[in-house]
Homo-oligomer: A and B are copies of this chain.
């Protein structure tokens, strides 16, 4: 990057990390983005304590990254969904994903691939679609399982 002088903590990265830098936050955001919207599945998948999940969901809601929706009245049950602000974190998650794939690859290939929603091509690490060449905006991306994914879980994605 640079090899020059440097100054103060007026830093956008530090501000971002205050919001999403806590343990579990980015993984929660990722899972919610993939459609895992309820408490118990999140808890089980992440292997996280209920209390920690409760507080993380709470702070992410405070920050406007998630919103809580009630989907059942009689037993009060809730779902968590990404806001636009939360969805805009997908480039961060994608870059983390690509870095991980580069330096800690799964033997069988990447477990997850980013796909351009409108044309179905997959993305390179500049978020340019390899098929149509378009520079893809965060909300036009979805994820699909790649070759490194576990055995029998191949949820067919409606292309």
Contacts and interface: CB of A to CB of B under 8 A. Distances in A.
Main DSSP-derived SS at the A contact region? mixed
Interface size class of A (residues with CB under 8 A): 35 or more
User: What is the count of identical protomers in the complex?
Assistant: 2
Interface in A86-124: 87-104, 106, 110-112
A126 B128 contact: yes
B10 A31 contact: no
A16 B153 contact: no
Given A2-B34, A2-B35, A13-B93, A7 B100 contact: no
Contacts of A98: 12, 91
A142 interface: yes
Nearest to A106: B10
